[in-house]
A = this chain, B = another copy of it.
């Protein structure tokens, strides 16, 4: 199927990228704003995520009700998310309805930010923060992440805290919005069965008036502390352990080797080292290792839950598996990992929505297009020596480890 790539930049700096497939059954588009929790002043922590909610509250042209209703009228599948590093608004529809979807998304991107909505939505955010406190993983993560980044904004919690959200004022959000949601800090990613030239004209009309503010991100490399702690809680019955340690940044070409290494250690699918060492013998309920790259740094991430009596034993096995990983990795292991990555990438590319996401995320991190073929070629080129080198440079240390256990 002939997928073609298009790319242009509007006069105000807004980038538009697309992977077009005239045979697709749908079209997808998303605005990727390069702003998230790490770009917030500490006292405004949570403003990016709160703002994401406010984007659905209406514009000069539309009420909140209109936005929801119109998305439904065109049967769109639409959503938004906020991370430490980006805020994304996306939708997908049948091809003939996509211009209406783009009109809605583009209009939403200039919200009214009405006082009344702001005060009402604050309550929604506070409820969301409260809800996370019943989830053991998030209780542990929210304590650990700020310790992993004690002096760096990557330690910010995406939801903010009760204090920052309660204190936040509408005008502070508006200033943050004006500076960060600029044309030059946003990319519009498109994919599937759509008319690129028509979409560019529509974007010009919807977004051509957006300001170019020169919004930047501080990508200074964060410190790598050593820390550990234990939370005792009456609210849990299992033991939880979570470790973060420095790993390559998104722009680091070693990210491919790092991804395969984490996959070998504790990726999904029942064939990881941790799966065989912990799940198969019934020692842990869940375990997972992953590689989470950021702008200017990255993390290894190792998590397990188990009988709290056996937490020490489980942590010993995690340690042993991490230490033994690189030395025991074989060419066969690598071949299998690459094969899985190839299938996963092909499956993700089967839907315009998957291509749109891939394109938008990569552009936000790299300011460039990486084709699926280039990505797969880079993965294919990873050698055992590459995995050894990335492990030596980032040996799962220094670590910050947190435990959550029942109050006994």
B128 near A285: Cβ-Cβ < 8 Å: yes
Query: Can you tell how many copies of this chain the complex includes?
Result: 2
Contact check: which of B73, B134, B284, B350 meets A336 at CB < 8 Å? B73
Q: Which residues of chain B are near A76, meaning CB under 8 Å?
A: 340, 343
Interface residues of A in 328-376 (CB under 8 A from B): 335-344, 346-347, 349-353
Question: In the complex, are the beta carbons of B238 and A235 less than 8 A apart?
Answer: no
- Asked if residues A236 and B235 are in contact (CB atoms below 8 Å), the reply is yes
Instruction: Report the interface size for chain A: residues with CB under 8 A from the other chain.
Output: 69
Bound form: Cα–Cα A281–B128 in Å: 13
Task: Indicate with 1 or 0, residue by residue over A112-130, a CB within 8 angstroms of chain B CB atoms.
Answer: 0000000011111011101
Question: Are the C-beta atoms of B336 and A69 separated by less than 8 Å?
Answer: yes
Do the beta carbons of B270 and A68 come within 8 Å of each other?
yes
Q: Cβ of A93 < 8 Å from any Cβ of B?
A: yes
Q: How far is the CB of A257 from chain B (nearest CB, A)?
A: 18
> When A133-B237, A270-B56, A349-B25 are in contact, do A126 and B282 touch as well, CB less than 8 Å?
yes
| A128-143 interface code vs B (CB 8 A; 1 in, 0 out) | 1011011110000000
**B238 touching A134, Cβ below 8 Å:** yes
* Chain A 13-60 residues near chain B, CB threshold 8 A: 23-26, 56
Per-residue B-contact encoding for A63-74, CB less than 8 Å = 1, 0 else: 010001101111
Q: Inside 8 A of A102's CB, which chain B residues have their CB? A: none
**B contact residues around A311 at 8 Å (CB):** none
Is the CB–CB distance between A131 and B336 below 8 Å? no
Q: Are B339 and A347 in contact (CB under 8 A)?
A: no
> Is there an interface contact between B26 and A271, defined as CB atoms closer than 8 Å?
no
* Contact of A120 (CB < 8 Å), options: B126, B280, B346: B280
Q: Mark A274-285, 1 if CB is under 8 A from B, else 0.
A: 000001111011
CA–CA, A297 and B130, complex, Å: 36
Given contacts A1-B23, A76-B343, A305-B131, is CB(A124)–CB(B282) below 8 Å? yes
Inter-subunit contact A75/B123 (CB<8 Å) = no
Is B347's CB under 8 angstroms from A285's CB?
no
Are the CB atoms of A343 and B93 closer together than 8 Å?
Answer: yes
Decide: A340 and B92 in contact? CB cutoff 8 A.
Answer: no
A271 and B339: CB pair below 8 A? no
Residue A307 interfacial (CB < 8 Å): yes
CA distance A280 to B68 in the complex (A): 12
Q: Closest residue to A74 on the B side, CB-wise?
A: B339
Kindly report which residue of chain B lies nearest to residue A122, judged by CB atoms.
B282
Q: Tell me the minimal C-beta distance from A134 to chain B in angstroms.
A: 5
Tell which of B77, B281, B342 touches A347, judged by Cβ atoms closer than 8 Å.
Answer: B77
| Minimum C-beta distance from A215 to chain B (A) | 28
B286 touches A131 (CB 8 A): yes
Q: Which of chain B's residues have a CB closer than 8 A to the CB of A344? A: 75, 77
Residue of B25, B75, B271 touching A340 (CB-CB under 8 A): B75
* A133 / chain B contacts, CB cutoff of 8 Å: 237-238
30 pairs, CB–CB < 8 Å, chain A vs chain B? A1-B25, A23-B23, A25-B349, A25-B350, A69-B336, A72-B269, A73-B339, A75-B336, A75-B339, A75-B341, A75-B344, A77-B343, A77-B344, A93-B343, A120-B280, A120-B281, A120-B282, A123-B281, A123-B282, A124-B279, A124-B282, A127-B307, A130-B285, A130-B307, A131-B238, A131-B305, A134-B136, A235-B236, A350-B350, A350-B352
Top 5 nearest A-B pairs (CB, nearest first) are: A123-B282, A75-B339, A75-B343, A131-B285, A72-B336
Known: A130-B285, A131-B238, A133-B238. 15 other contacts (CB 8 A): A26-B347, A26-B350, A56-B270, A68-B270, A71-B271, A72-B269, A77-B269, A77-B344, A94-B342, A94-B343, A122-B282, A123-B281, A127-B284, A130-B307, A134-B136
